[in-house]
């Protein structure tokens, strides 16, 4: 498998990204369109927040269709908490896209991200959809990746190339997310495309499992958004034997999808609003997989842990505390904790108690911009990873004026 830190065009797909006037800055694209030239299957995972934006509610129905050929996405306005008018606006975005591409409305998905509670500027959006449809290109994915961003500092793209049945397969993904990021579909959007031929049932299974171990294992600020979703489209253009059971081809496809999902998730965590460090929790020795996931997520979501890492403070007590209230089952007296970065590795907890460690080395390790917290519960054989970032002064500055 070959991995690329960019969006490799996927055969049979086109994309575009344009500026239509939703955002105040005309240098920032705010509407994107993804289009499959032929029929494609889709699968999606959506926010667990009870307050769901109109696009999420619409997509939860449209995703059931056996042909999805387009996704229209706007940034700058979330179309959330906008009532019946917002739902109607989401539908009208779909109708306009379907008209431009000669599709049925049920063959189109819609996504929005941005400020909550503001009605959509539909005149600008409809014009933007028309412009995007005219701009569709096999090389338009970089523009599309820009058009979905809000407070992100950069685009987030990754691709994997591999073979199935001697047929070249591509899985390429783009995502946005910087704040309002928390496990259980952390505001993030993800769009993944592939030319692989796979059944809708297994596409759904693969995506759901992949999301559980990637996007659902990141946290920036503890807030689960109203708009989160990850969508995958598979158009079958590769002409490989249809993946319709969990055989070797499925496992190979799933491995590639996991790489794409995990890399995108890590990029979101690293680009957390105001973040200066990417933090990875590598937790092992749990009694069950769920215990491992729960404990790892609790560490990465803790505001006190994140604050300590911003200050490069080896405050291991906050890590122990966060696992203690996580709901995970473990024996505190068995726990071991290590910190690692390119400056080295240091053990700071053994048998659930702090060790006398070299404070200067610990400080040097924690001053780096990519740090691993390695936890061994020494209770079993299960493990999990989670990703997040530190919590800095700039996070408050950004979100103190997000709406204005």
Active site amino acids = 187
Phi/psi for 214 (5° steps) reads -135, -80
Asked if 177 and 111 count as a contact pair (C-beta separation under 8 A), the reply is: no
Whether the Cβ atoms of residue 168 and residue 93 lie closer than 8 Å to each other: no
- Give the whole-angstrom CA distance, residue 227 versus residue 373: 30
β-strands 31-36, 70-77 pairing: antiparallel
Return the structure tokens found at 402: 């997000």
Tell me the C-alpha distance between 229 and 231, whole Å.
Answer: 6
- How many residues are present in the chain? 404
Residue indicated by tokens 């490989």:
240
Q: For residues 196 and 369, what is the distance between their CA atoms, to the nearest angstrom? A: 36
Tokens of 208: 């759901």
C-alpha distances in Å from residue 68, one per residue of 36, 188, 292, 395, 397: 8, 21, 36, 37, 40
Structure tokens given for 217: 């294992």
Coil, strand or helix: which one is 88?
Answer: helix
Half-sphere exposure of residue 134: CA atoms within 13 angstroms, side-chain side: 7
Provide the β-strand partners of residue 197. none
Dihedral sign of CA atoms 91, 95, 96, 97 in order: positive
Nearest to 272 by CA among 228, 306, 237, 322: 306
Question: 63: which DSSP letter?
Answer: T
Which ranges constitute the DSSP H helices of 113-179?
122-135, 141-147
Phi, psi values for residue 46, rounded to 5°: -125, 160
């Amino acid at each position: 498998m070959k991995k690329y830190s960019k969006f490799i065009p996927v055969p049979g797909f086109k994309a575009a990204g344009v500026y239509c006037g939703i955002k105040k800055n005309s240098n920032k694209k705010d509407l994107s369109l993804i289009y499959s030239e032929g029929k494609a299957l889709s699968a999606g995972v959506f926010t667990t927040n009870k307050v769901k934006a109109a696009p999420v509610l619409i997509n939860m129905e449209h995703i059931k269709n056996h042909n999805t050929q387009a996704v229209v996405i706007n940034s700058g306005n979330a179309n959330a908490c906008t009532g019946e008018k917002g739902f109607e606006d989401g539908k009208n975005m779909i109708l306009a896209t379907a008209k431009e591409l000669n599709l049925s409305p049920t063959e189109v998905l819609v996504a929005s991200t941005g400020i909550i509670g503001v009605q959509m500027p539909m005149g600008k959006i409809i014009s933007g959809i028309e412009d995007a449809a005219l701009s569709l290109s096999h090389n338009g994915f970089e523009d599309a990746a820009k058009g979905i961003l809000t407070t992100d500092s950069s685009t987030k793209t990754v691709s994997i190339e591999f073979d199935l049945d001697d047929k070249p397969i591509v899985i390429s993904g783009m995502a946005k997310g910087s704040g309002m990021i928390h496990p259980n579909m952390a505001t993030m959007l993800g769009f993944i495309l592939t030319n692989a031929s796979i059944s809708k049932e297994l596409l759904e299974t693969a995506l759901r499992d992949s999301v559980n171990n990637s996007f659902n294992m990141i946290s920036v600020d503890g807030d689960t958004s109203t708009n989160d979703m990850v969508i995958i489209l598979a158009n079958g253009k590769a002409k490989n034997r249809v993946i319709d059971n969990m055989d070797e081809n499925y496992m190979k496809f799933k491995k590639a999808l996991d790489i794409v999902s995990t890399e995108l998730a890590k990029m979101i965590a690293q680009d957390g609003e105001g973040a200066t460090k990417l933090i990875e929790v590598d937790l092992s020795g749990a009694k069950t997989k769920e215990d491992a996931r729960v404990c790892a997520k609790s560490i990465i979501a803790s505001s006190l842990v994140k604050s300590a890492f911003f200050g490069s403070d080896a405050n291991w007590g906050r890590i122990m505390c966060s696992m203690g209230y996580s709901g995970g089952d473990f024996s505190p007296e068995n726990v071991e904790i290590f910190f690692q970065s390119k400056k080295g590795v240091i053990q700071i907890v053994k048998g659930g108690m702090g060790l006398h460690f070299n404070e200067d080395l610990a400080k040097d390790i924690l001053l780096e911009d990519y740090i691993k917290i390695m936890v061994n519960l020494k209770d079993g054989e299960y493990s999990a990873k989670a990703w997040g970032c530190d919590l800095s002064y700039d996070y408050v500055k950004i979100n103190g004026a997000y709406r204005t």
